[in-house]
Structure 1
Amino acid sequence: MRHFYSFLLCILFFSCSKPPIVSQAPTLQDGERLITLNGVKHWVKVEGSKHGTIPLVIVHGGPGGNHYVFERTAGPELEKFATVVYYEQRGSGRSQAPTNPDDYALPTLIQDLKALQDSLAAPKITLLGYSFGAELSLRYAVAYPEKVDQLILSSPAELSPANMLVQIQGFYSIGDAAFRTAIENVLKDTTTLTQKYNKVWGLANGATVDKFLFVDAAKAQLNRQLWQQSKLNNTGLLAKVYLKNNKADLLELAKGLRTPTLLISGLHDKNGGLHTALGLKSILPNSTHKIYEQSAHFPDIEEPARFAQEVKSFLRNR
């Protein structure tokens, strides 16, 4: 009988406007699992379910990154007071990749997140997105404002032309003479801005990237050690699709969104997070902006205690 009712529900779903496909839905109980969202198995982990709070869904950056580092830095602090839901986007971290290498468009990622919320049976969620995850979280709130209780956007970094220039300038500011000359040569060529942007990133070695993303060298080393320990790789496919389809329209779309929003920026963020957050603060009427003076692109790693405390205060004030 139960299977019969499930069959009827499937008929009902497909007779409507093709809602997100969800199977193997998780409950809000602690633990890791793989669940199928829109035909792709996604890695999901719940911690802190005993608190019974509105689920705090953590949305990672990259594009194409994972939560391994966050789970071991700021994550445990958040789990002390909130029901935390980690999930990794399609083709990222421990999640399955779609069969079509181009199936990573932002509307698809938004529907995956919608399917996740449906699987949690949560009428409301709070989204905590960092870097690209902040952009995805904000776009989700624009698409489904009635489903999002609060937004926490840490180092939001839409990869607009302006942000590409911010990043190139950031690399130039930390480079030695040879690196700066190489950047100057790239800027003189006749390629597009996106091609120049990719070339500059290609010039940077690991030490340069660490200096670009962090103020504290020890925290940069911790990040790199955990990343290596995870044995998780970014395939680059999600980022490739993102760059190909990016319209740099985030501020236009989000203008006037009334969802209570906490913006978090590192003062030394060379990846564009401070630039984007300042723009968002001007168009989100219910937003608060916190600047972390000892951080670059990852305040959650460089100042985790303050990060957790301000998230806690923001949630409680709601």
Structure 2
Amino acid sequence: MPTYTTYDGTELAYRVEGSGEPLVVWPGGPARDPAYLGDLGGLARAAHRALVIPDPRGTGASPAPADPTAYAAVRLVDDLEALRAHLGLDAVDLLGHSAGGSVSLLYAARHPERIRRLVLVTPGTATVGLDVTDEEWESRAALRAGEPWFAEAKVALDADDGTPATRQAMSPFLYGAWTDAARLHAASDDQQRNREGTRGFWAERPDPEQTRRVLGEMTAPVRVVVGELDLMPGPELGDQLAGLFPDGRSVVQPGAAHFPWVDDPALFARLVVETLAV
């Protein structure tokens, strides 16, 4: 795998899917091996782009840091900036998924001039101070009440203890349909996740209001792709997030949840291609 040197001299790995103009893809988890992204539903072929997918610290082929504060989202922003410089890009087309959306938002706030297009796929929103109420959370969960797995998964969802067993039990909520493909994708979560990296992701918390102010002046187009059935963010929160940007828009993938390329690969790729056309 190719590597790049980040701000503290560490060599970090990345992979490239496809060929063409680069689209940098920052993965979520946080601290989950980017293998979970697969090829994003064939996005490289559909978009005729080279997907540049880094292995953040302590995941994939990248080493774990000696200092665990390097796992913090604000420090990962520095790694992302080092990758941009390594690629020789004046400005990037950036896609962030889930917690990778949080890193992407922080990157855009710190380096707005380096963003050409920003695509946020089922992104985390804590960096800009957006959240759902308990009532909204319950309402989102209730959308799946007719599913045969609902009762058992809801117990796990309510437990919210962060253990691998609980996360596996509530996994059906993360997919639009609990298919064989969804089960296989969910089963890999525990093996792919760096727990220390997950804990360290919010070791430093930037000021959401300051982040929002900067993003509110960013002129680059921003598209937020959310799943119709996702718990967080749902379509309403997607609209709120998109509304923070002068050129922001939210796109809903019908029947999808937190991993929309698993639910419907072709539709997901088409929606992202359309967002990149602006």
Q: What TM-score results when the alignment is normalised by the length of structure 1?
A: 0.72
Q: Counterpart of 1:23?
A: none
The answer as to 2:5 corresponding to 1:44 is: no
1:278 partner letter: D
The structure having more radius of gyration, on CA atoms, is 1
Alpha-carbon distance in 2 for matches of 1:78, 1:270: 27
The answer as to 2:177 corresponding to 1:216 is: yes
Q: Counterpart of 1:89?
A: 56
The answer as to 2:207 corresponding to 1:243 is: no
The answer as to 2:111 corresponding to 1:144 is: yes
| Equivalent residue runs for 1:53-202 within 5 Å | 53=21, 55-74=22-41, 76-80=42-46, 81-159=48-126, 162-163=131-132, 165=134, 169=138, 173=142, 176=151, 180=155, 183=158, 199=161, 201-202=162-163
Question: SS of 2:28's equivalent?
Answer: coil
Deviation string 1:145-188 (CA, Å, 9 cap, x unpaired) is: 221110111101134683585896379646538965994xx7xx
Q: What is the RMSD of the two structures over their aligned residues, measured on CA atoms?
A: 3.1
1:314 partner letter: T
1:211 and 1:217 in contact (8 A); partners too: yes
1:243 partner letter: W
Alpha-carbon distance in 2 for matches of 1:297, 1:136: 17
Question: SS of 2:32's equivalent?
Answer: coil
1:102 partner letter: T
2:13 and 2:54 in contact (8 A); partners too: yes
Deviation string 1:102-133 (CA, Å, 9 cap, x unpaired) is: 22222311111111011111112100111111
Moved more, 236-245 or 81-90: 236-245
Higher RCO structure, 1 or 2 (CA under 8 Å, sep 6+): 2
| Equivalent residue runs for 1:168-317 within 5 Å | 169=138, 173=142, 176=151, 180=155, 183=158, 199=161, 201-202=162-163, 205=166, 208-218=169-179, 219-224=181-186, 227=188, 232-247=191-206, 249=208, 250-272=211-233, 274=235, 276-315=237-276, 317=277
Change (3 A) 1:171 1:304: same
Q: Give the length in aligned residue pairs.
A: 265
The answer as to 2:4 corresponding to 1:35 is: yes
Q: Counterpart of 1:4?
A: none
Deviation string 1:23-54 (CA, Å, 9 cap, x unpaired) is: xxxxxxxxx323332322322112333x3x2x
Moved over 6 A (4+): none
Q: What TM-score results when the alignment is normalised by the length of structure 2?
A: 0.82
Question: SS of 1:118's equivalent?
Answer: helix
Question: Unaligned 5+ residue runs, structure 1?
Answer: 1-31, 187-197
Alpha-carbon distance in 2 for matches of 1:178, 1:220: 14
1:139 and 1:254 in contact (8 A); partners too: no
Give the deviation of 1:220 after TM superposition: 1.7
Change (3 A) 1:163 1:34: farther
Change (3 A) 1:290 1:305: same
Give the deviation of 1:77 after TM superposition: 3.1
2:28 and 2:99 in contact (8 A); partners too: yes
Question: Unaligned 5+ residue runs, structure 2?
Answer: none
- Percent identity, aligned pairs only, is 24
Give the deviation of 1:101 after TM superposition: 1.8
Change (3 A) 1:154 1:99: same
